[in-house]
Amino acid sequence: KHPETMKVFAKYNMGCVGCIAASFEKIKDIAVVHGVDVKTFVKDLNEAIEK
């Protein structure tokens, strides 16, 4: 839905794009699994969408 967020996932070395679990995992769960601060990750995603 928001291809502009792909750069954010890449920034955090997340291979979520194309991952089979990506269709049902929550953003919070993805951040926690990758050791990323949830608030920062969501902020970065929102900023990417707003550009």
Q: What is the pLDDT of residues 19-36, one digit of tens each?
A: 777 778 888 998 998 999
Q: What is the pLDDT of residues 5-21, one digit of tens each?
A: 999 999 998 877 677 77
Give the other-Cβ count within 10 Å of 16's Cβ. 18
pTM across the whole model? 0.81
Give the other-Cβ count within 10 Å of 38's Cβ. 14
Sketch the domain layout of the chain as residue ranges.
Answer: 3-50
The whole-angstrom distance between residue 21's C-alpha and the CA centroid of its chain comes to 13
